[in-house]
């Protein structure tokens, strides 16, 4: 949902992979010089309680941002502390809406405000088997 609703504003890369894999993918982007724009554990939804997660990173590539690296490494460690959870099929649409609301509210400036910010990429994932 976040990927399709925000595709006209951001570069969106939708990945049908687990939440943990999304964290590793974002970490790889950070190692390549991207910076986190939104926190990978934003909102009060715990990592293994949602099948969807969007993370905003910078489009620009610079030097390694140690703050972004520290946050993503802490997020990976945090993920492993939670138990797997089954999510009923009937709740998937609700979790998509939650993910969209979180990313819409946490992205810099109101979406579509034309504030001159450089474009950013959104990583979205679907957690399989949870």
- Looking at residue 3, what is its pLDDT? 61
Q: What is the pLDDT of residue 71?
A: 97
Cβ distance 12 to 23 under 8 Å? no
Q: What is the pTM of this model?
A: 0.78
Q: Parallel, antiparallel, or unpaired: how do β-strands 120-126 and 11-15 relate?
A: parallel
Q: What is the pLDDT of residue 124?
A: 58
> DSSP state, 36?
B
According to the model, what pLDDT value does residue 118 have? 44
Residue 13: per-residue pLDDT = 81
Q: Which residues of the chain have pLDDT under 70?
A: 1-9, 107-130
Domain regions of the chain by residue span: 2-126
SS (HEC) of 112-128:
CCCCCCCCEEEEEEECC
């Amino acid at each position: 949902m976040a990927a399709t609703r925000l595709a006209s504003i951001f570069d969106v890369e939708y990945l049908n992979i687990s939440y943990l894999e999304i964290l590793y993918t974002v970490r790889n982007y950070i190692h390549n010089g991207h910076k986190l724009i939104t926190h990978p554990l934003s909102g009060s939804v715990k990592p293994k309680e949602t099948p969807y997660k969007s993370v905003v990173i910078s489009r620009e590539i610079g030097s390694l941002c140690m703050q972004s690296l520290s946050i993503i490494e802490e997020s990976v460690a945090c993920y492993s502390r939670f138990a797997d959870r089954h999510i009923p099929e009937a709740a998937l649409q609700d979790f998509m809406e939650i993910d969209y609301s979180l990313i819409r509210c946490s992205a810099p400036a109101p979406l579509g405000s034309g504030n001159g910010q450089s474009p950013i990429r959104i990583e979205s994932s679907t957690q399989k088997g949870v």
